[in-house]
Chains A and B, each alone.
Chain A
Amino acid sequence: MASRTPAAAKKTVLVTGAAGSLAKRVIARLHGRYHVIAVDFRRKVETDAGIPSYLVELHKRGFEDIFASHKIDAVIHIGRIFAHEKTRQQRYNANVLGCKRLLELCRKYKVGQVMIHSTYFVYGASAYNPALIDEDAPLKASEVTQDLVDSVELESLANIYLWKHPELNITILRPCNVLGPGVRNSMSILLSRKVAPVLLGFSPLMQFLHVDDMTEAMVLAFEANKPGIYNVAPDDYVPYQEAVRQCGCRRLPVLSVPPSLPKLVASMLNWNAFFPPYLINYFKYPVILDGRLFRDTFGWRPRRNLNDIFTYYRKQKLVTD
């Protein structure tokens, strides 16, 4: 697959969030065809020979040294602090200010391409959502909760740079739930559990994507370099409670009325990692993405179906039993 390009012609790509499962896969796919630099704020990632790895926080000074010492041609920004990892203030600093600094450095060091990994959470889960939300829909997540303000602001920031600085060639991807081996986002942690909370009387439709398909999508979009904003989602849908069953979880029903009750339960029982109070609405109302633009622009189709995805979680439970 990797064409033999002379070393001098190889581009240098900086990938953030390198400790995460998606970034690891993206790095593995790019390695060989590109000089890859791995960056993470959590830990210094063990990488293959020839991949420099750095432990650095994006909004701290040391970050610029990487740009000064390597001629970076492109950045793939995947690294993000989840809400359960730090306080709201720390998260804002790392995610929003960190992203701003990243984009500023990209300008200063004349980086020619930036890809930003966002999330479908930015659309917000509301009872009034139409289905098949396209990229032009308003981002209403901050209406739902303060805890998603950083996700929305990161997007607005990237949007401003997208229009003001076309030379950065910014691509923003808004994937649906990404699942699969090694994925540590809240949905993946939730479906890995033996018991999964469900809201009584609510089973919103959801979209799921295998992490390998998301990797494929990112690599395709990176190589095609067509700046813009894209939803990344399959045209297949399943209600949350059905997904829970398919993953072999037992359902733990939580009273859904009054609306503040499940939030209270989630925070009292400290379900922050997998059923956080600020995401309760996403287990109540659907956020169904229209993924046509991405699929048509990049000729991408997911290769793993819902059953492939759920089978991993089902088998995982059999192993640990």
Chain B
Amino acid sequence: MARFGSLELKQRLVTSLVTPEIEALVASIPKPLGSFGYDPWGYNEDTFKVGLGAARLLYDKYFRVTAHGLENIPAEGRVLIVGNHSGQLPMDGVLVGVAAATNPHGPRLARAMIERFFPTVPWLGNFLNALGGVIGDPVNCARMLEMDEAIIVFPEGVRGSGKLYRKRYQLQRFGNGFMHLAMTHRAPIVPVGIVGCEETMPALANLAPVARLLGLPYLPIVPSLLPLPARVYLNFGKPMVFDPAASEHEVSEQVEAVKAELRRLIQVGLDERTSVY
């Protein structure tokens, strides 16, 4: 009987999150799936709907996101959405994903590249895959671009998300991998400056030795274990298209161009922000 009750509760929760609007949005995203509703990376439409329903609430009510330049995300075709990473937990990825999925100019399923240790965590690994997350392997990325998917990349990786509060809004070192992918597969890069996520979880220090012991990328000392309700500003820039570079030096220069554009977009967000929380 108790089991029946919890089943009903789950069903009620699902129906309250998956609104007709969410249903319509997801239905309008073209995505080939297998007979059980899965793609080769484990994306599942039903899980995605629930996830999007929940994340939509965070997006609208908790972080009160203001997004500009959504028209810059192409409605179809391959694209790399490249942003600055911050806030310890990958809330920025979630919010960019919601912005893309609910884009009035054409909703997209944007796939987040997740940390390599996630698949080893019970439940979480499968759950993130079902939501569209994929480990950030270049082979995966290349294959998805070939299939004309949209991919969210944070080239700073854990260097960006795990940085301390005193380094907020300073871009950390970028890997060049995303630029190689963009050039090889002729994928435009849509930069997105993210403002606000730094303040959701300001880290005062990083307990690196303990993190190493636990096999985590970092372990911050934070004032709150839950993200704080900071207002978030997303500024999407114009698509940047790069020709194949002749040398790694040239690739680095192109990466610098993306970083410069990101700094500009971050500044736009900082300027329009009137209140942090």
Interface residues of A (CB under 8 A from B): 127-128, 130-132, 199-205, 235-239, 242, 256-257, 285-286, 288, 305-307
Contacts and interface: CB of A to CB of B under 8 A. Distances in A.
B47 to A, nearest CB: 11
Given A127-B116, A238-B36, A201 B140 contact: no
Q: What range describes how many residues of B lie at the interface? A: 20 to 34
A306 B35 contact: yes
Among A131, A200, A236, A286, the most chain B Cβ lie within 10 Å of the Cβ of A131
Interface stretch (B118-126, B218-226, B239-247): B118-126
Given A202-B126, A256-B122, A285-B119, A131 B38 contact: no
B212 interface: no
Interface string B113-140: 0001101111111100000001101011
Contact of B40 (A128, A288, A306): A288
Contacts, number: 70
Contacts of B20: none
Given A202-B125, A237-B40, A239-B42, A127 B34 contact: no
A128 B35 contact: no
Contacts of A286: 42
22 contacts: A127-B119, A128-B116, A128-B137, A130-B135, A132-B143, A199-B122, A201-B122, A201-B124, A202-B122, A202-B126, A204-B126, A235-B34, A235-B40, A237-B36, A237-B38, A237-B40, A237-B42, A239-B36, A239-B42, A257-B122, A306-B34, A306-B35
B23 interface: no
B40 A132 contact: yes
Interface in B48-106: none
Contacts of A205: 38, 40-42
Contacts of B121: 201
Interface of B: 34-36, 38-42, 116-117, 119-126, 134-135, 137, 139-140, 143
Nearest to B36: A238
A203 B126 contact: yes
Nearest to B126: A203
B39 A237 contact: yes
A238 B140 contact: no
Given A202-B126, A203-B126, A238-B36, A127 B120 contact: yes
Contact of B139 (A130, A236, A237): A130
Contacts of A204: 126
Among B116, B122, B123, B134, the most chain A Cβ lie within 10 Å of the Cβ of B122
B41 A131 contact: yes
A128 B36 contact: no
Contacts of A288: 40
Contacts of B34: 235-238, 306
A201 B123 contact: yes
Given A128-B137, A238-B35, 8 more contacts: A128-B119, A132-B40, A201-B123, A201-B124, A235-B40, A236-B36, A239-B36, A286-B42
B120 A201 contact: no
B34 to A, nearest CB: 4
A131 B36 contact: no
A286 B41 CA distance: 9
A307 B35 contact: yes
A235 B35 CA distance: 10
Nearest to A259: B120
A128 B122 CA distance: 15
Given A201-B122, A202-B122, A205-B42, A130 B35 contact: no
A238 B39 CA distance: 9
B122 A306 contact: no
Contacts of B125: 127, 201-202
A301 to B, nearest CB: 14
A6 to B, nearest CB: 45
A238 B120 contact: no
Given A131-B41, A205-B42, A200 B122 contact: yes
A49 to B, nearest CB: 41
Among B39, B42, B124, the most chain A Cβ lie within 10 Å of the Cβ of B42
A5 B122 CA distance: 58
